[in-house]
């Protein structure tokens, strides 16, 4: 008896297979035939759900993005956590310097998946500043920060962090990484109008030691 699967179930099967193959062979190294064989479906079934391999990649990016931004939003919404700690947890959840989605980002950072990496970066640059902005507004209400540009400040921070702390973009030694992190924190304090030294404890959250 032939098993009839729902459109959503079949679509996810195709995405799971493509995800596995892209991780193994890269996007360019994976053919639509590879995906067809892995799922065990006809070409017509594949094209019913996705017009091309690029469409499959875009759907995967959407799935990754939902996970990454979902984790960030959950962190941002937890008001039991202090503002500064929440701000850093959001950054860490996005794996700009570590975090819960490490396996996803390792997959995307493979050289053969450069296009996926580029698309995820675009999602982060557009999706993360609004999440962080809400936290900064809370900090402004609490008298911790003073800036007329909360969104623009967070956009600057996300773009800088997403580029400089991305091993594919800039190769840093541990010493250089620590120096960049210290400089970033110093400048974020200025951007946000925060008290000097108030964000210094952030380095401990990233597992880095710093001079008092």
DSSP letters spanning 156-202: HHHHHHHHHT-TTT----HHHHHHHHHHHHHHHHHHHTPPTTTTTTH
Task: Tell me how many degrees the CA angle 158-161-163 measures, rounded to the nearest 5.
Answer: 105
Closest CA to 39 of 61, 56, 27: 56
Return phi, psi of residue 190, to 5°: -70, -45
Q: Please report the pLDDT score of residue 115 as a whole number.
A: 75
- SS3 percent helix, strand, coil of the chain, rounded to 5, is 70, 0, 30
- How far is 102 from 167, CA to CA, in rounded Å? 13
Mean pLDDT of the chain: 82
Question: pLDDT band for position 48 (50/70/90)?
Answer: very high
pTM comes to: 0.73
Q: Please report the pLDDT score of residue 4 as a whole number.
A: 54
What percent of the chain has pLDDT above 70? 82
Q: Please report the pLDDT score of residue 133 as a whole number.
A: 96
pLDDT digits (tens, 9 = 90+) for 173-186: 888 988 988 898 89
Q: How far apart are the first and last CA of the chain?
A: 71
Query: Is a pLDDT exceeding 80 seen at residue 19?
Result: yes
Distances in Å between the Cα of 105 and the Cα atoms of 48, 93, 167 are: 29, 11, 11
Q: Which residue is associated with the tokens 């401990």? A: 204
Question: pLDDT band for position 187 (50/70/90)?
Answer: very high
Contact assessment for residue 188 and residue 199, using Cβ atoms and an 8 Å cutoff: yes
Query: Is a pLDDT exceeding 50 seen at residue 78?
Result: yes
Collapsed DSSP state (helix, strand, coil) of residue 42: coil
Q: Please report the pLDDT score of residue 60 as a whole number.
A: 86
pLDDT digits (tens, 9 = 90+) for 93-140: 765 443 334 445 666 666 666 777 788 888 889 999 999 999 999 999
- How far is 144 from 141, CA to CA, in rounded Å? 8
Average pLDDT over residues 12-40: 89
Contact assessment for residue 129 and residue 158, using Cβ atoms and an 8 Å cutoff: yes
């Amino acid at each position: 008896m032939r098993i009839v699967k729902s459109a959503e179930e079949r679509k996810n099967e195709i995405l799971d297979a493509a995800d596995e193959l892209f991780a193994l062979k890269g996007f360019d190294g994976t053919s639509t035939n590879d995906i067809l064989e892995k799922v065990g479906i006809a070409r017509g079934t594949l094209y019913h759900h996705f017009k091309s391999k690029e469409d499959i990649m875009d759907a995967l990016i959407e799935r990754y993005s939902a996970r990454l931004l979902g984790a960030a939003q959950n962190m941002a919404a937890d008001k039991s956590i202090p503002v500064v700690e929440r701000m850093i947890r959001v950054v860490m959840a996005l794996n700009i310097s570590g975090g819960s989605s490490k396996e996803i980002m390792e997959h995307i950072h493979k050289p053969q998946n450069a296009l996926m990496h580029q698309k995820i970066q675009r999602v982060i640059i557009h999706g993360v500043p609004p999440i962080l902005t809400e936290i900064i507004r809370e900090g402004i209400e609490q008298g911790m920060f003073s800036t007329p540009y909360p969104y623009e400040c967070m956009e600057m921070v996300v773009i800088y962090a997403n580029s400089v702390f991305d091993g594919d973009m800039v190769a840093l030694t541990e010493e250089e990484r620590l120096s960049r992190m210290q400089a970033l924190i110093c400048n974020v304090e200025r951007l946000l109008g925060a008290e000097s030294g108030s964000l210094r404890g952030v380095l401990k959250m990233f597992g880095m030691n710093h001079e008092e």
